[in-house]
Homo-oligomer: A and B are copies of this chain.
Amino acid sequence: MTSPFHSVDALPEKTLVPGITGKLVHTDGMTILHAFIEKDAVLPEHHHPHEQITNIISGELEMTIGGETKVCKPGDVITIASNVPHSARALTQVKVIDAFQPVREDYKKL
- In the assembled complex, the CB of A43 is this many whole angstroms from the nearest CB of chain B, namely 15
A51 to B28, CA, bound (A): 8
Q: Contact between B99 and A30 (Cβ–Cβ < 8 Å)?
A: yes
- Pick from B5, B51, B97: contact of A27, CB under 8 Å: B51
Residues of B within 8 A of A9 (CB): 75
> Secondary structure at chain A's binding surface: helix, strand, loop or mixed?
strand
A82 to B32, CA, bound (A): 16
- In the assembled complex, the CB of A53 is this many whole angstroms from the nearest CB of chain B, namely 5
Residues of A near any B CB (own CB < 8 A)? 1-9, 25, 27-30, 32, 34, 51, 53, 55, 57, 63, 65-66, 68, 70, 72, 75-82, 84, 97, 99, 101
